[in-house]
Structure 1
């Protein structure tokens, strides 16, 4: 475990010695994708858990598990079917 602490200290020293604009760019390049991925995982977990514990029988499935465009029959039922050019 000592090697990890030494490596991390080296990374910190390298980062601190960089000019401030480079520090910001490097930090954003690492943190933005990381936080986006964590938020996506949390969103999927919450969607899945809420779908399992809901008391409503006809509840819609989570967004990642349903067809966004809807079926042709559903669109016709809602009045959104294909329209003829007039």
Structure 2
């Protein structure tokens, strides 16, 4: 739900392009990373820390927005989720 839904994939793509503009995002690679904590082979070792931060902040932003739909009656807006994931 936090990865393969079309709206969520759009969030991942936008956030990914901001931090890793020269690589292509594959949703299966993110799922593999989340489930094993092993970075994709096309990410340079020097970017591992950034990768962990990007994945963590994006997941947090998606789940936070998702739960706000239920508890705060706030609409799930892709642009707001991307903005939160990218940080200040």
Say yes or no: TM over 0.5. no
> Which has more radius of gyration?
1
TM-score by length of 2: 0.34
